[in-house]
Chains A and B, each alone.
Chain A
């Protein structure tokens, strides 16, 4: 089977989400990559170095600069003439583009696979991760998105892929990119951080996030996450949200501070290796999944903890 993998990038370098996707795709067969973007030749060269990849299709055109699904999907469909499966990471781009591709190919999509059981059979989470379904796709082309935390990352180097230009279909004239507000952070990116410190509604305001959660994260070299309640209340930007409808993380250590542990939050972090919970309510559901729990007031515990580290 020949797979085509969507390379997640920012027109400058390959994003980590690509690597787990390559691992998943390689369990299906030969891996080719698609680098669609603008001024992104360096990305294609970098991608060609990923272990085990074959052809890297480079579609370098202004129409692809911001990965607009309307422009990218026809490009993918065209390349699917020579491929049996389109595999994308379950990033916001992957989730945006893959179903558009699937519908154009008239095939169903399998979202956020956790494992490849066989060439047509996959496991995936349903009901906020409270159940795992094993599903078998019908014969024909496959469209999959991959949960990054469920697969090991392919090696970034050692590969000998060859870059080949793909014919650009250009701008479909349906949508235009207006602008973006990307949160800047020096801290490790949430989905690849080894340690994450997350804050919930109990933090009360963004000031407390800055003075309590961030110093602790910095001491530990950790990424910073949040519950929906903390995001909705405006303590932190939306891209900090961990959960069913936010980011899915599985770090070595997840420290939940003032987070109750609602089903929708657990869906995004319960595959962390070690979960640590700090909460003043000893009956909070978070303690049912925590490996280590400390019952008490975060406003006392967190400064003391940060101070003693």
Chain B
């Protein structure tokens, strides 16, 4: 089956985000950007499915500015076969992204779409579920294990109390959790090879989608700072503090 993997270009997870002084957002100028960590896990899972003979073709998609091409090249270097860049200057919201992805799903007819469970910038955790709704397909969110057997996809999900397993009718939409796998690094030869893999350029209009944000961001602020604390010298002093706090009698 064909596997579609949407990937997002986000601030690198090691960078501490800085809020802009004018309160309009987070400063991304000259900040290191990378593939969203959950999407790396999604790409890795698709590649593993190909290694098991389940996936026949892996198509990576990214929606955003021209630089998202780099994110797609990373996916191609990891092992995706071809890529689609849907170019927009808007910060497309999950609903708009899901609508574009639906257009691509209609065109490409993948047997499985694997997304990350959330992007570490907007922390929305919505796109996969919305895509499942729009395509009328089942969803296996927060996956820590994916097994494809014919046209049924068994997904083990990380839920509040532990783990839960569901069986989905393909084509299905899966979103990855951290425990699904450990993404591989792209080797230098593969990075070189990725440069000549096909990358198609599209626009939201090609799928009849308007990416103008519907939510209005009125302001972005830093969270309240915590008061500086104290260091204690030993366990007795620590217990003294716990007593003052009323944690122990």
Q: Are A136 and B215 in contact (CB under 8 A)?
A: yes
Beyond A174-B169, A181-B162, 10 extra complex contacts between A and B, CB < 8 Å: A69-B129, A102-B126, A130-B26, A178-B167, A182-B161, A245-B177, A263-B13, A294-B233, A295-B231, A305-B235
List A contacts of B235 (CB < 8 A). Answer: 294, 301, 304-305, 308
Q: Are B218 and A134 in contact (CB under 8 A)?
A: yes
Q: Are A294 and B17 in contact (CB under 8 A)?
A: no
Partner of B229, one of A135, A275, A305: A275
Contact with B along A143-165 (1 / 0, CB 8 A): 00000000000000000000000
Query: Considering the chains assembled together, what is the distance between the CA atoms of A179 and B130 in angstroms?
Result: 25
Q: Is B238's CB within 8 Å of the partner chain A?
A: yes
Q: Which residues of B pack against A, CB within 8 Å?
A: 11, 13, 16-17, 19, 25-26, 93-95, 98, 117-118, 120-134, 136-142, 144, 154, 157-169, 177-179, 214-223, 226-227, 229-239, 241-242, 245, 247-248
Query: Considering the chains assembled together, what is the distance between the CA atoms of A235 and B66 in angstroms?
Result: 42
Query: Considering the chains assembled together, what is the distance between the CA atoms of A244 and B139 in angstroms?
Result: 22
With A178-B154, A294-B238 in contact, do A132 and B223 touch (Cβ < 8 Å)? yes
Taking the closest CB of chain B, its distance from the CB of A37, in whole angstroms, is 15
Q: Are B245 and A253 in contact (CB under 8 A)?
A: yes
Q: Is A281's CB within 8 Å of the partner chain B?
A: no
Q: Are A104 and B247 in contact (CB under 8 A)?
A: no
Within 8 A of B (CB), among A168-187: 173-183
Q: Is A137's CB within 8 Å of the partner chain B?
A: yes
CB closest residue in chain B, given A129: B223
List B contacts of A305 (CB < 8 A). Answer: 235, 238-239
List A contacts of B117 (CB < 8 A). Answer: 245
Taking the closest CB of chain A, its distance from the CB of B57, in whole angstroms, is 24
List B contacts of A231 (CB < 8 A). Answer: 179
CB closest residue in chain A, given B179: A238
CB closest residue in chain A, given B128: A99
Give me 17 A-to-B residue pairs in the complex whose CB atoms sit less than 8 angstroms apart, sorted by A's number: A93-B160, A99-B129, A100-B132, A103-B133, A112-B123, A125-B123, A133-B220, A134-B221, A178-B165, A179-B165, A195-B247, A245-B177, A263-B13, A264-B13, A287-B231, A292-B241, A304-B235
Contact with B along A232-244 (1 / 0, CB 8 A): 1000011100001
Query: Considering the chains assembled together, what is the distance between the CA atoms of A238 and B25 in angstroms?
Result: 32
CB closest residue in chain A, given B168: A175
Query: Considering the chains assembled together, what is the distance between the CA atoms of A90 and B154 in angstroms?
Result: 24
Query: Considering the chains assembled together, what is the distance between the CA atoms of A96 and B160 in angstroms?
Result: 12
Q: Are B214 and A108 in contact (CB under 8 A)?
A: yes
List B contacts of A293 (CB < 8 A). Answer: 229-232
List B contacts of A133 (CB < 8 A). Answer: 217, 219-220
Q: Which residues of A pack against B, CB within 8 Å?
A: 66, 68-70, 73, 91-93, 95-104, 106-112, 121, 125-138, 173-183, 191, 195, 220, 228, 231-232, 237-239, 244-245, 247, 252-253, 263-264, 270, 274-276, 282, 287, 289-295, 301, 304-305, 308-309
**DSSP class of B's interface residues: helix, strand, loop or mixed?**
mixed
**DSSP class of A's interface residues: helix, strand, loop or mixed?**
mixed
Q: Are B144 and A238 in contact (CB under 8 A)?
A: yes
Taking the closest CB of chain A, its distance from the CB of B101, in whole angstroms, is 11
Query: Considering the chains assembled together, what is the distance between the CA atoms of A134 and B24 in angstroms?
Result: 10
- The 9 A-B pairs with the shortest beta carbon distances in the complex, nearest first, are A99-B129, A103-B133, A103-B130, A99-B126, A174-B138, A178-B165, A291-B229, A127-B17, A175-B138
List A contacts of B98 (CB < 8 A). Answer: 103
Taking the closest CB of chain A, its distance from the CB of B226, in whole angstroms, is 5
Query: Considering the chains assembled together, what is the distance between the CA atoms of A71 and B239 in angstroms?
Result: 51
List B contacts of A195 (CB < 8 A). Answer: 247
CB closest residue in chain B, given A238: B158
Q: Are A135 and B133 in contact (CB under 8 A)?
A: no
Query: Considering the chains assembled together, what is the distance between the CA atoms of A67 and B245 in angstroms?
Result: 41
Partner of B139, one of A69, A109, A239: A69
List B contacts of A69 (CB < 8 A). Answer: 129, 132, 139, 141
Q: Are A175 and B166 in contact (CB under 8 A)?
A: yes
List B contacts of A292 (CB < 8 A). Answer: 229-232, 238, 241
Q: Are A239 and B158 in contact (CB under 8 A)?
A: yes
Query: Considering the chains assembled together, what is the distance between the CA atoms of A247 and B162 in angstroms?
Result: 12
Taking the closest CB of chain B, its distance from the CB of A68, in whole angstroms, is 7
Q: Are A239 and B161 in contact (CB under 8 A)?
A: yes
Taking the closest CB of chain A, its distance from the CB of B218, in whole angstroms, is 4
Q: Are A135 and B130 in contact (CB under 8 A)?
A: no
